[in-house]
Chains A and B, each alone.
Chain A
Amino acid sequence: MASIGIPANQAPKLNYLNNGHSLKSWLLTTDHKRIALLYLISVTVFFFLGGFFAMLIRLELLTPQGDLMQADTYNKVFTMHGMIMVFFFLIPVVPAVLGNFLVPLMIGAKDLAFPRINLLSWYLYITGGMIFLHCMLTGGVDTGWTFYTPYSTAGTNTNIVEAGLAIFLAGFSSIFTGLNFIVTIHRMRAPGLTWDRLPLFIWANYATSLVMILGTPVIAITIVLVAVERLFHLGIFDPGLGGDPLLFQHLFWFYSHPAVYIMILPSMGVISELIACFARKRVFGYKFVALSSVAIAVFGFLVWAHHMFVAGISLYAAMIFSFLSFSVGVPSAVKVFNWTATLYKGSISYATPMLYAFGFIGLFTIGGLTGLMLATIGIDVHVTDTYFVVAHFHYVMVGGVLMGYLGGLHFWWPKMTGRMYPEAWAKLSALLVFVGFNLTFFPQFILGYVGMPRRYWQYPPEFQALNVLSTAGASILAVGYLLPMIYFVWSLRYGKIAEANPWSAAGLEWKTTSPPPTFNFDETPVVTWEAYNYDEIPPWERRAPVAR
């Protein structure tokens, strides 16, 4: 990657990519931009691995009977899909790739506050990932990504402890990323960059980091307790010994519900950047959008038991958690309405990142509204553990998080690599992802509503038509994800050389060269303007910023 060809007629400026070409200069780097690329490569590997398991699931569900695999294998396949996608892709993807690259650039800092801890966090992630791969290759785990006790502590004979260790390490990687971001955002902003001038991507990553450092330790100790219970026969969650499996579910969801905000919040931050840039306007209600990130992070900690409405919690507790779950809808809606209001009278251009942003708004709205349906106790009891739930969280996690990530990756690709991606191919893939996604997951809403349960390898024949649609959609989606992979790699050598600011975008990251020098800025910038000052950009620079 370091050997991007630069035309001979241009003087090769020293930047973070050509500042050292050895393997050591990458594996022992403390440069946040290089670490972001290390993460980019590793999360991409895990994404396609998790996607491979998703394809196995969709292939098996093409027909009502179990023909590709039987129950035991199927259990392991959906567990591997879930664990890889949640812990090794969705949680690190936006903060560790885009956040790592952009947080120091956007606040005018030379690096994160603790560069070596940043590198450590990548190594923890990789070590966890390797242990998980070993666990996968030696038999995998069949509990579902949720590790529910007592099955995980006394029932299954698969390698829970090893998978737990892998996730424990990945968790600490995420804690250190969050800690680094919070300290960096508090202590290292450029002179003049006050809190109400921060880009919304920074606000979103700040809120995410709060969830990371407050939630992740709880899942860590929960995994430790599950492991010691298996290894030393303690009875903390074992009903046979007086323990309470519900306690496990409470501790698990105390992290794992906020974890979905770790995934979605940074993507929401990306969308704010994209909408502002391609509508050429300051985000409507900047302060509300900024604080809604923090509100989502705070409310997110108070709703976990809505995963447990049928698990035997008291009706009164369920009612309170139902109400609190609805309250998360308020800050989420603030974001969607404010993005929409930003578009009003904006000078909109339809570059690929903007297409992803539009896709995000639509899919997140569906995912969010079905979330409100699930927060309603009566509906939740009806559709618990059906494909309705599966469709809902895929609309948020894939429709939301992944659209935001891909939009952001296209938007900042010129900054990261110094090359433009091919716009026509990118638009095609955005279209394929949108169509493929809806075709995959919309039928699952219907399937779930009419009663198809999740996590089974076979189903009654009357569900087949919708399942075939879903599998067909998954194939289109797969093409939509493979295309960017191919043309991004292609663009590293053949893409058009990117200017410092190809989108005429506001934001400090565009004021340095593409790709940036190792310490980001030749001189520490001094900020005297508000975020998204698009009305201050001279008219002749306010052209529709679409790459050809």
Chain B
Amino acid sequence: MHDSQATTSQATVQVTTAEHEAHNPALVHQFADAEQQKNAASLGMWLFLVTEIMFFGGMFCAYLIYRLKYFNAFAAGSQSLAIKWGAINTAVLIASSVTVVLAIYAIRFGRKKLTVAFLVVTVLLGFVFLGIKSIEYTDKFREHHVPGANFHFTENFDDNGKQIPVNPNEVQLFFSLYFAMTGMHALHMIIGIGLMSTLAVLTWRGHYSAEYYTPLENAGLYWHLVDIIWIYLFPLLYLISRHT
């Protein structure tokens, strides 16, 4: 049915497909043209980020409930965290997001070496973040703030030296969430570092150009999301009642 119309448009579709396939080696078979392929990849990445938000959302939900329930313990636990390291790490991550943006900006102009340089800086900043995080974790072990049999909490004083009455179990819950949330975030950082390193190598080998750089853009989206999760984690974990 509707034969003539259908045949004409089909013919057009066939021709465009063939043309694009001839010009663009990155185009895979299931897509009609490069634009469709790019749009699909980008939508797929955004949906994946939605699943990541839901994944962390479970922990944010637990955090919210326990923070409302055990506010004093959470404030005391929070104030025993090293705000200095947390703040530096926030700055490090924001800087790394900037370098990701610059890397993508550079590839748009086909500046291969510059792109690789920015990706390498991003990876290095990622390592700085993890290094600082591991210093913090080590301190927590030393201070017996890691949940479990050896957990002790005696730092229940606010910044003015006034004692806050808290139940150690409730503070332990704060640290359980602290380790679960920052640990899961660190795992995502490690994945991100692996991703960025791979892309740096692929860029160096000339896989991406001003015409085709979708993987770089999608990896950038992932990196920004991991960054944004930290932007939420930092105030939620480090900055409870710091002003009092």
Q: Which residues of A contact B (CB under 8 A)?
A: 104, 109-115, 117, 175, 179-180, 182-184, 186-188, 191-192, 213-218, 220-222, 224-225, 228, 232-236, 240-244, 247, 250-251, 519, 523-526, 528-529, 536
Contacts and interface: CB of A to CB of B under 8 A. Distances in A.
A19 to B, nearest CB: 13
Contacts of B148: 232-233
B154 interface: no
Q: When A and B form their complex, which 9 residue pairs have the shortest distance between CB atoms, in order from nearest? A: A221-B58, A217-B55, A234-B176, A217-B54, A111-B30, A242-B169, A187-B40, A113-B40, A528-B2
A523 B8 CA distance: 12
Interface of B: 1-2, 5-6, 9-10, 13-14, 17, 28-32, 36, 39-40, 43-44, 47-48, 50-52, 54-59, 61-62, 65-66, 69-70, 147-149, 167, 169-170, 172-173, 176-177, 179-180, 184
Given A188-B40, A218-B58, A526-B9, A213 B70 contact: no
A536 B28 CA distance: 36
Contacts of A221: 55-59, 184
18 contacts: A110-B29, A114-B40, A179-B44, A186-B43, A188-B30, A188-B31, A188-B40, A191-B13, A218-B54, A221-B59, A235-B172, A236-B176, A236-B177, A242-B169, A247-B61, A519-B29, A524-B17, A524-B32
A182 B57 CA distance: 21
Nearest to B30: A111
Contacts of A114: 40, 44
Contacts of B47: 179, 182-183, 213
Nearest to B59: A221
A526 B30 contact: no
B44 A113 contact: yes
A109 B180 contact: no
A234 B65 contact: no
A529 B1 contact: yes
* Consensus secondary structure, chain B interface: helix
B55 A241 contact: no
Nearest to B56: A221
Contacts of A251: 58, 61-62
B170 A523 contact: no
Given A247-B61, A251-B62, A524-B13, 7 more contacts: A214-B50, A217-B58, A232-B179, A234-B179, A235-B172, A241-B172, A525-B6
B29 A111 contact: yes
A523 B169 contact: no
A218 B44 contact: no
Contacts of A519: 29
A441 B158 CA distance: 61
A233 B172 CA distance: 11
Contacts of B14: 523-524
A187 B36 contact: yes
Contact of B51 (A217, A232, A233, A244): A217
Nearest to A113: B40
A495 to B, nearest CB: 30
A525 B44 contact: no
Nearest to A229: B176
A247 B147 contact: no
B10 A523 contact: yes
Nearest to B183: A228
Contacts of A113: 30-31, 40, 44
A504 B167 CA distance: 72
A242 to B, nearest CB: 4
A36 to B, nearest CB: 15
Contact of A225 (B5, B9, B180): B180
Contacts of A104: 30
A112 B40 CA distance: 10
A250 to B, nearest CB: 8
B57 to A, nearest CB: 7
B173 A220 contact: no
A345 B163 CA distance: 80
Nearest to B176: A234
Contacts of B177: 236
A222 B55 CA distance: 9
B180 A241 contact: no
A363 B28 CA distance: 44
Given A213-B51, A244-B65, A525 B10 contact: yes
Contacts of B149: 233
